[in-house]
Amino acid sequence: VDTDFDAAPIGSCETRRTYSGRSLPNLLHLILTDPATGFPEEHWSDLRTAIAAAAERSAAALDASDTIMLEVIGNVFYRGRGAFMVGRALRRPNDSSPVPIAFCLRHEQKRGIDFDAVLLGETDLAILFSFTRAYFRVDTACPYELVRSLRDLLPEKRLVDLYNAIGYHRHGKTEFYRDFMRHLRSSEDCFVAAEGTRGMVMLVFTLPSYDVVFKLIKDRFDYPKESTRAEVMRRYRLVFEHDRAGRLVEAHEFEHLRIAQDRFEPALLEELLGAAPSIVRREGGDVVIGHAYVERRIRPLNLFLLETDESAASAAARDYGQAMKDLAASNIFPGDLLTKNFGVTRRGRVVFYDYDELTFLTDCNFRDMPKATTPEQEMASEPWFSVRENDVFPEEFPTFLALPGVSRQALFTEHADLFCADFWRTMQQRLRAGEIPALYPYPAARRLPQTN
């Protein structure tokens, strides 16, 4: 008998509140100003104008002439300067296909609360609760019920993803381990090396039938990498604690994983034992892994650009540039900008997942390339000028960003400023001045018009 099962708590609490019997604008006003879930009307900035725009947009998307009920989770989700009220719209009694909905609020300085955006549909909410974003802060006495309410809205999300999204990391790790063990018992495929360019710092492998990768730090790094295990672990910790801006893949740390030896492809097992003997060993019929990071498996950008059509490749290249800018706005510089270190999610979003050179943007020294003044300097195969460890030369980026022709042109057309030191220095100045650039977890098209 399997005793490791998902047991509901003995006590329970209601996590959802239902609103009905009024026009859509009145329902929105009631929800947003309800003392139990919202904020008093005097704290808002031009709420009625925003509600009118939100009701018009929602009605068109929902065919809201039949909308009779809005069901809202009673917990407000906070992240950065944003707050989010999440629920679903039911267009008829016992609606079998309710529409997930989220009301996005912003609180800028020297003004009231803005009703900033309305998100409609599972795709919009899935991006809001993405594994590439910072964790929500949410006050709940019943995380079990809250997570299951969220799963009703996002059935494709696993429990581990939803627990992590609300900051319950230990719950998330437990759910992952349970799910992983269940999958191992019901599958027969073997672990293999992950697709993509082999890492110089990390060993990366995966189970083809399970959508995560396992990353192990090598005992010795390949030349020219010079960092240490402690430095790599510090950078992964930074990712865990920092605002990931929707561009850094969540990584979970595990110790003492025990997996049957016959589930490893022989060549992979020999590589693990040879390159990371301090943390990988055979024990009986098992392989014991002393330390690993687990991340969601996504398609490496360099492979995606070669496999897809020109339109998708161009879109990915543009989002690759935007990913660099979003990370810069959150004070993160990836260090290694090669496309092999970025990936594409199933929703087409470009994210970064190789953290061994990641650092704070404000710790970098972005320099213009010195101009050669002699023929010898022009022909030199090595830099003829001094270069310090934290020096970065954006003008050199194009020489090693290996993108196919169409996608390369798309990147350079949309984001030419990335290849100038001025862009990076300006962002540093803004960050050092205490400015927090706005990063929205939804497209600009979802935002409501603001009057001030």
Per-residue pLDDT averaged across 139-145, rounded? Answer: 91
Q: How far apart are CA 91 and CA 89, in angstroms?
A: 6
Residues 323 and 280 in one domain: no
Residues 313 and 208 in one domain: no
Amino acid at 16: R
* 362-401 tens-digit pLDDT: 999 999 988 777 777 677 767 766 778 889 999 999 988 8
Residues 268 and 336 in one domain: no
Residues 223 and 262 in one domain: yes
Residues 197 and 334 in one domain: no
Which of 297, 317, 345 is the last residue before a domain boundary? Answer: 297
Contacts of 1 by beta carbon, 8 Å cutoff, 6+ apart: none
Residue 137 backbone dihedrals phi, psi, to 5 degrees: -105, 120
Beta strands of 95-233 (E only): which ranges?
99-107, 113-120, 192-193, 202-206, 212-217
72 C-beta neighbours (distance < 10 Å), count: 26
Residues 64 and 191 in one domain: no
Residues 292 and 321 in one domain: no
133-137, 212-216, 381-385, 439-443: range with lowest mean pLDDT: 381-385
Which residue carries 């001045």 as its tokens? 433
Residue 137, domain extent: 16-165
pLDDT of residue 124: 94
* 318-366 tens-digit pLDDT: 999 999 999 999 999 999 999 999 999 998 999 999 999 999 999 999 9
Residues 152 and 53 in one domain: yes
pLDDT of residue 375: 74
